[in-house]
């Protein structure tokens, strides 16, 4: 019981003032102190959150990091490959277009299968209780 009382902030001191100007100055000082305490708590919370995010990033395996990268940038890679192919058709000789399109198809298929495997692995990692496999 005593520890709870010690951990609580002390009650603010009450001053008796006779003029309004002094009362306003005191309220202004109290407001600044309150804002400073609030900013300190916010900064501390943000620092703790950043620390937790960095901790999670450090605990991520290489496979998880690669999967995350492919999941985020895979569609961009696909779009760039297809757009590059469509743009380069005008510069590629007619007899080579089939070779380039076959290579492009191979790349698109590989990236698509990687994306599909990431999605299927992510959905299949939970057991019946909703817990991860560990």
The tens digit of pLDDT for each residue in 29-83 reads 888 999 999 999 999 999 999 999 999 888 888 878 877 888 888 888 888 988 9
Query: What is the distance between the alpha carbons of residues 112 and 65, in angstroms, rounded to a whole number?
Result: 18
What sign does the dihedral 39-43-45-46 (CA atoms) show? positive
Instruction: Find, among 54, 51, 50, 70, the residue nearest to 62 by Cα.
Output: 70
Question: Can you give the pTM of this predicted structure?
Answer: 0.46
Q: Where exactly are the structural domains of the chain?
A: 15-59, 61-125
Query: What is the distance between the alpha carbons of residues 51 and 45, in angstroms, rounded to a whole number?
Result: 10
């Amino acid at each position: 019981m005593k520890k709870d009382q010690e951990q609580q902030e002390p009650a603010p001191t009450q001053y008796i003032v006779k003029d309004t100007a002094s009362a306003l100055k005191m309220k202004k000082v109290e407001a600044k102190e309150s804002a400073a305490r609030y900013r300190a708590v916010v900064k501390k919370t943000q620092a703790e959150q950043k620390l937790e995010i960095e901790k999670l990033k450090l605990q991520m395996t290489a496979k998880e990091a690669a999967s995350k990268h492919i999941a985020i940038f895979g569609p961009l890679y696909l779009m760039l490959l297809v757009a590059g192919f469509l743009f380069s058709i005008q510069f590629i000789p007619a007899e080579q277009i089939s070779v380039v399109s076959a290579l492009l198809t191979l790349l698109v298929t590989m990236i698509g299968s990687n994306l599909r495997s990431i999605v299927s692995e992510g959905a299949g990692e939970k057991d019946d209780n909703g817990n991860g496999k560990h």
